[in-house]
Structure 1
Amino acid sequence: MNNMITTCHLTKKYKSFTAVNDVSLHIQKGRIYGFLGPNGAGKSTTMKMLLGLTAPTKGSFTINGKHFPDDRLEILKGIGSLIEAPSFYANLTGRENLDIIRRILDLPKHAVDDALALVGLTEFENRLAKKYSLGMKQRLGLAEALLGRPPILILDEPTNGLDPSGIHEIRNLIKSLPALYDCTVLISSHMLSEIELMADDIGILNHGRLLFEGELDELRHYALQRGFSADHLEDMFLSMIEQDNLSRKQRAKL
C-alpha cells in the first residue's frame, strides 16, 4: 500500500481540552479520502497540523515520504490547500490574484493558465475578484490550491455556501482531479451525499477520536455487522456518531 499521508498517534491538546486524540490516518496515493465528523470533531485541527499551521502535542506524520517537522518546508511545497473561505485581493482580477501566488511559489507563467483552465475560469480571468459569484470565488480558491499541480490537495469544506449548481460543479471537478494529474485529495465536508459520490475512502472522527477508516464498501459491511442502516453514507455516519456519543455518556457515569 502506497500512502501519501500517514499520521501516527497524532494528538492536539489545548490546556485541558483534547481536540485530536491519538489519530492514525492512512491516505493512499491517487485516491480521494473523505474526512467526516460533526462540528468540533477535530477535522480542521488535523488538517491544520498537516499544513504546519498548528503543532501537534504528540505523535508524528509523514507526507509523500517526508517527515514533520524536519521536512516542514518541503512538505508544504507539495501541498495545495483550501481551508475555510478563500480570501483574495478584491480589486485585482482572478488572474492577478493567482499571479501573486505564482510568483511567491516561483512557478512558470503558464501555471496560472493551467490552473484557470482546470477550474473553468479562463473566460472570467480578467474580471475583478469582488465581482465573482460565490461559486466563482470557490473555484478561484481551488485554482490557488491547484497552482503547479501539487501531488496533494487538502480541502476543508470546499462546497461551503454554494448553491446546488455550484456544488455539482465543484464535486465533478474534485472527482476528476486524481485521474487528471495523479494527485491525492483529503477533503472534509458536512455534505455527506457529496462525499459519497466522490470519495474512495472514508475516515470518521468524533470528539477527536477516529471511529472508522476504510473504503466505502468496508464501511457498509461494518455498519451491517452492527445492525445499522447501510443504505446511505449519512445513515451510517449518524448511527456511528450516535452510538459513540451514547458509549461516552455511559463511560462518564461509571
Structure 2
Amino acid sequence: MNIIQTNKLTKAYGDFKAVSNLNLHVRSGSVYGFLGPNGAGKSTTMKLFLGLIKPTRGNFLINGRSYPKDRQAILREIGSFIEAPAFYANLSGEENLELIRKILGLPKSAVEEALELVGLTEHRKRLAKKYSLGMKQRLGLAGALIGKPPILILDEPTNGLDPVGIHEIRTLIRNLPKQFDCTVLVSSHLLPEIELMADDVGIINHGRLLFEGSLKALKQLAVQKGYSNQHLEDTFLAMIDEDNQKRGRGR
C-alpha cells in the first residue's frame, strides 16, 4: 500500500518547472530515499506535500487523503523537517519543543521522549541560540518526531552533523518504521547514508522522476545500462549525467 502517491504533480514558476509530471509512490512502513542534485525539485515536492506551496497542476494523496480538500487532516499526520529548522533563539531546546507540543495538543511526556530520541536530553535547558549546527539539526528532528506521527518528511536531516552524529541519526531513521509503525520520506546528499537506510529510492532531475524502486532494482537497471553498480553514488551520478546529456542534445 502506498501512503504517499502523486499523479502528474507539477509546480511551475513561469516557464520554469521545478516539479514536472511527478508520479511518486511511497510504500507504507518504508524508508524512501528521495535523491537529486541541487535544484532538482526535492524540497519543492516536500513543500507541496506540506501545503507550503500550491501545485500548478496534478494532485497527490497522503494516507488516502487528498490535497487541498483534506489539507488539515494531512498535516496532523506529518512530522516534517524542511531546510534549516527555525527556532526561538532565546528559548531552550526543551521550551521550543514545548511550544510544538501545546500546538499539537500532545501529552507532556512527548517532549522528553523526543529529546531522548535525538540525544539532546542533557542539553535540553540550553538556549537554542547556543546550540551548534549539529544540535540544531537534532532539535529540528525532535520537532518532527514529537508525538510519533505516522509520516515523517525529512530534508537533509544529517546536515552539519559529525560522523558519529550521522551514524546515530541514520540508525534512528532506519529503525523508525519498526519502532513507531511510521513511514519516512528522506532526502540527503550523503548517498552512502541513503544506501544504508533506505528501502526504496526515487531519483529526480530537473523536476522529473528518472527512477523509482528498490535499491536491488536500481542495481539491476545499472547493469542493464552499463553503469557502475558498486555504490549508489556511482549509479546516481551516471544516471544524472545521461539525463543531462539527453537534455543537452534535445535543445
Q: Same fold (TM over 0.5)?
A: yes
Separation in 2, partners of 1:67, 1:171: 30
Counterpart for residue 118 of structure 2: 119
Select between 124-133 and 217-226 the one with higher mean Cα deviation.
Answer: 124-133
Counterpart for residue 45 of structure 1: 44
Provide the secondary structure at the position in 2 that maps to 1:175.
helix
Counterpart for residue 240 of structure 1: 239
Counterpart for residue 167 of structure 2: 168
Counterpart for residue 155 of structure 2: 156
State the Cα RMSD in Å. Answer: 1.0
Counterpart for residue 92 of structure 1: 91
Deviation at 1:162, TM superposition (A): 2.1
Deviation at 1:217, TM superposition (A): 0.2
Separation in 1, partners of 2:64, 2:178: 21
Counterpart for residue 13 of structure 1: 12
Counterpart for residue 102 of structure 2: 103
On the 8 A contact 2:30/2:200 being kept in 1, the answer is yes
Cα offsets for 1:6-26 (capped at 9, x unmatched): 001000100010110100000
2:76 alignment partner AA: K
Separation in 1, partners of 2:38, 2:72: 30
Cα offsets for 1:11-70 (capped at 9, x unmatched): 010001011010000001111000000111111101000010000111110001111110
Write the mapping of 1:1-254 to structure 2, written as runs, cut at 5 A: 2-252=1-251
Query: Which structure 1 segments of 5+ residues have no match?
Result: none
Cα offsets for 1:200-236 (capped at 9, x unmatched): 0000001111000000000000110001010000000
2:5 alignment partner AA: T
Select between 131-140 and 36-45 the one with higher mean Cα deviation.
Answer: 131-140
TM-score by length of 1: 0.96
Select between 154-163 and 25-34 the one with higher mean Cα deviation.
Answer: 154-163
Provide the secondary structure at the position in 2 that maps to 1:159.
coil
Separation in 2, partners of 1:186, 1:73: 19
Percent identity of equivalent pairs = 67
Deviation at 1:181, TM superposition (A): 0.4
Separation in 1, partners of 2:168, 2:127: 21
1:79 alignment partner AA: I
Query: Which structure 2 segments of 5+ residues have no match?
Result: none
Deviation at 1:134, TM superposition (A): 2.1
Separation in 2, partners of 1:220, 1:211: 14
Select between 155-164 and 211-220 the one with higher mean Cα deviation.
Answer: 155-164
Separation in 1, partners of 2:86, 2:25: 30
Separation in 1, partners of 2:80, 2:110: 16
Deviation at 1:163, TM superposition (A): 2.1
TM-score by length of 2: 0.98
User: Number of matched residues?
Assistant: 251
